[in-house]
């Protein structure tokens, strides 16, 4: 499996995520953690809480449509992983989010920006686990 590095697209995406998290914190005083936003959308504490959460999630999933508007074609999305593995991975991420009290976006983008020691520890754990998993899957299991 080959990984394609796209520095300009990656930089642009990172800048957009950073700006979005700053705007959410500045306007609503909220942390932009994707799983927290989704869980709050599924069980909102108020009507106004539902609205901003739905808007953020709509923005997160509307990327391919924005690419189509700009380029005239939908981006090619390839997922070289069986659906079963995606489901298992999603389940494991859900466990990690629960025990880690947040996800990579909440801890890695917002928590570290606020100099939270807990977020630094969580992000280091996420990154080490990811690196070990990629190494095992690619070099030990031969995936």
Per run of 10 residues, the mean pLDDT along the chain (length 143 residues) is: 81 89 89 85 82 88 89 86 87 84 83 89 90 89 75
pLDDT at 87: 92
pLDDT at 78: 81
pLDDT at 30: 86
pLDDT at 143: 61
Contact of 56 with 37, CB cutoff 8 Å: yes
Work out the number of other CB atoms within 10 angstroms of the CB of residue 103: 21
pLDDT at 121: 92
pLDDT at 131: 92
pLDDT at 99: 83
- H-assigned helices in the chain: 7-28, 34-42, 47-61, 63-71, 83-99, 104, 112-113, 117-135
Tell how far CA 84 is from the center of its chain.
20
């Amino acid at each position: 499996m080959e990984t394609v590095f796209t520095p300009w697209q990656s930089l642009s995406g990172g800048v957009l995520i950073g700006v979005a998290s700053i705007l959410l914190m500045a306007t609503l005083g909220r942390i932009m953690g994707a799983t927290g936003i989704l869980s709050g959308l599924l069980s909102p504490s108020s009507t106004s809480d539902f609205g901003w959460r739905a808007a953020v999630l709509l923005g997160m999933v509307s990327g391919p449509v924005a690419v189509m508007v700009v380029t005239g074609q939908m981006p090619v999305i390839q997922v070289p992983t069986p659906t079963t593995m995606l489901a298992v991975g999603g389940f494991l991420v859900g466990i990690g989010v629960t025990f880690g009290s947040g996800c990579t976006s909440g801890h890695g983008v917002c928590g570290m920006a606020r100099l939270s020691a807990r977020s630094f520890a969580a992000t280091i754990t996420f990154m080490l686990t990811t690196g070990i998993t990629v190494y095992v899957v690619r070099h030990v299991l031969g995936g």
